[in-house]
């Protein structure tokens, strides 16, 4: 048997309960479940049956014909701190706002695993290739995701502080597990480079846009310019509470950040916002954005990651009591614009099919700039959605031929309304004087 061990530390409070639903406990099944999610996100496979078959082969299945996982996980506590109680924050606390649902039941204090709690994850398998895949999935979990309640709002963040790889299984992967960087640009480069490495370990097939589930087929993030001495200051500086406070009256739009959303009103009956497609109700949808805290050296940086994958099936609506409305994702673009005032946007990953379009445009019309906009830029596209591209070029688009459902807009001929839309939701994916947008 081959083994790779990782020593980790918690960066932010981890709200993860054990069997009694009260005492904080980090268990192997929770780790494995989260690793499954990030394996799927990196795999970005459009064929769901193929995806599930491959996933079950690696992570195991209840189907006796498939059997157990091809690797095992053990979790051991090295420096176990006593569980703490996170007091119910007041309404002015920006960090408490991120964790507010933890305290919604009766306003009680909540036990949690405190920051700087050290533990070890040990991966074991007979197959070195499986260990590399499992390690890449763990990298994504640690640096793109988190564990426990409010994991997408900044809770349950971790960092790997050492790797025990006596058999040198990971040496040829190029994957680095210890964050590097003396400033936000260097940290962002470390994240991009290692995400691409992890993705290459997990998926060696040609990639495309995938809408069926949350994934990283096309993804981007904003990382804050300023380093902070504490995780609380870093998370608060992302400005989510201030943005939501400013837009709390937009009851049918804020659910684009995830639902259910419960609004307190002056009336006896509060408003709970959910989703519906036809006669089918959707009581829960995870947020398409993830708040992260990255620690490099002794400094903390906030980071917000944006995932791809349809938020609701085609025809879905947002429902607030008896009122309904089609999902409006523009509010996420508004928040994204606010983030970019305090940080820098980076493209984390692009599918091969989009890279093919970029290469074709570069060859045929030599554009100054290529911009992806519309649903595939926002991430909420469906399987039949077109790819919307805007270009800045001096050449004509009349003889340009592209395969597939691709709509090309010449920025020189676009009207003001379309230009405003592109500016609001678009992302630059190529500029002539650089390589692909960073």
Q: What is the pLDDT of residue 99?
A: 78
**Alpha-carbon separation of residue 61 from 39, 136, 253, 421 (angstroms):** 15, 20, 38, 45
Mean pLDDT (the chain) is 90
For residue 63, give both structure tokens: 């189907």
More confident residue, 115 or 392: 392
Overall average pLDDT of the 6-30 stretch: 83
Q: What is the pLDDT of residue 403?
A: 83
**Domains of the chain (ranges, CATH numbers):** 2-205 (3.30.70.1900), 231-348 (no CATH), 351-431 (3.30.460.10)
More confident residue, 105 or 209: 209
State what percent of residues in the chain have pLDDT above 90: 71
More confident residue, 18 or 389: 389
Confidence of residue 132 (pLDDT cuts 50, 70, 90): very high
Q: What is the pLDDT of residue 438?
A: 45
Confidence of residue 78 (pLDDT cuts 50, 70, 90): low
Separation CA 144–CA 163 (nearest Å): 18
Overall average pLDDT of the 2-11 stretch: 97
How does strand 271-277 pair with strand 261-263? antiparallel
Overall average pLDDT of the 396-403 stretch: 89
Q: What is the pLDDT of residue 268?
A: 47
Q: Is the confidence at residue 105, as pLDDT, over 60?
A: no
Q: What is the pLDDT of residue 62?
A: 81
Q: Is the confidence at residue 92, as pLDDT, over 80?
A: no
Q: What is the pLDDT of residue 114?
A: 84
Neighbouring residues of 157: CB distance < 8 A, sequence distance ≥ 6: 10, 11, 12, 146, 231, 292, 293
Q: What is the pLDDT of residues 195-220, one digit of tens each?
A: 999 999 999 999 999 999 999 999 99
Burial of 214 (0-12, 13-18, 19+ CB in 10 A): buried
Q: What is the pLDDT of residue 426?
A: 97
Model-level pTM? 0.92
For residue 302, give both structure tokens: 């906030």
Q: Is the confidence at residue 407, as pLDDT, over 70?
A: yes
Q: Is the confidence at residue 111, as pLDDT, over 80?
A: no
- Quote the DSSP letter at residue 82: P
Q: What is the pLDDT of residue 144?
A: 99
Q: What is the pLDDT of residues 272-323, one digit of tens each?
A: 878 888 888 888 889 999 999 999 999 999 999 999 999 998 889 998 888 8
More confident residue, 69 or 25: 69
Separation CA 50–CA 212 (nearest Å): 13
30-44, 83-97, 155-169: the lowest-pLDDT one: 83-97
């Amino acid at each position: 048997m081959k083994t790779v061990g990782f020593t980790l530390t918690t960066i932010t409070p981890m709200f993860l309960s054990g069997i009694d639903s009260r005492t904080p406990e980090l268990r192997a099944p929770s780790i494995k479940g989260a690793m499954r999610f990030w394996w799927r996100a990196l795999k970005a496979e459009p064929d769901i049956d193929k995806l599930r078959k491959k996933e079950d082969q690696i992570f195991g299945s209840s189907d006796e014909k498939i059997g157990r996982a091809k690797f095992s996980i053990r979790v051991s506590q090295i420096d176990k701190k006593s569980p703490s109680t996170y007091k119910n924050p007041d309404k002015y606390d920006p960090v408490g706002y991120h964790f507010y649902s933890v305290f919604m039941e009766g306003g009680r204090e909540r036990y949690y695993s405190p920051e700087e709690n050290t533990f070890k994850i040990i991966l074991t398998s007979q197959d070195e290739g499986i260990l590399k895949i499992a390690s890449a999935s763990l990298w994504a979990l640690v640096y793109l995701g988190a564990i426990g309640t409010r994991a997408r709002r900044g809770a349950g963040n971790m960092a790997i502080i050492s790797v025990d790889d006596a058999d040198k299984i990971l040496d040829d992967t190029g994957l680095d597990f210890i964050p590097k960087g003396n400033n936000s640009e260097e940290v962002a480069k470390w994240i991009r480079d290692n995400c691409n490495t992890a993705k290459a370990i997990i998926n060696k097939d040609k990639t495309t846009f995938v809408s069926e589930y949350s994934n990283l087929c096309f993804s981007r993030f904003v990382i804050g310019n300023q380093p902070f001495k504490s995780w609380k200051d870093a998370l608060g500086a992302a400005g989510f509470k201030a943005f939501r406070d400013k837009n709390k009256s937009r009851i049918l739009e804020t659910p684009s950040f995830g639902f259910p959303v419960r609004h307190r009103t002056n009336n006896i009956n509060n408003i709970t916002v959910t989703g519906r497609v036809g006669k089918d109700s959707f009581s829960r949808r995870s947020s398409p954005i993830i708040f992260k805290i990255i620690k490099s050296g002794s400094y903390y940086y906030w980071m917000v990651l944006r995932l791809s994958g349809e938020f609701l099936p085609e025809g879905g609506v947002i429902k607030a009591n008896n009122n309904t409305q089609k999902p409006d994702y523009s509010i996420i673009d508004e928040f994204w614009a606010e983030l970019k005032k305090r940080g820098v946007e980076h493209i984390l990953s692009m599918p091969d099919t989009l890279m093919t379009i970029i290469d074709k445009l570069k060859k045929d019309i030599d554009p100054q700039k290529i911009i992806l906009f519309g649903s595939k830029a926002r991430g909420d596209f469906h399987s039949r959605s077109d790819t919307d591209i805007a270009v800045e070029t001096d050449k004509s688009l009349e003889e340009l031929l592209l395969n597939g459902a691709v709509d090309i807009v010449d920025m020189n001929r676009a009207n003001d309304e379309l230009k405003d839309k592109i500016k609001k939701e678009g992302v630059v994916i190529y500029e002539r004087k650089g390589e692909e947008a960073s």
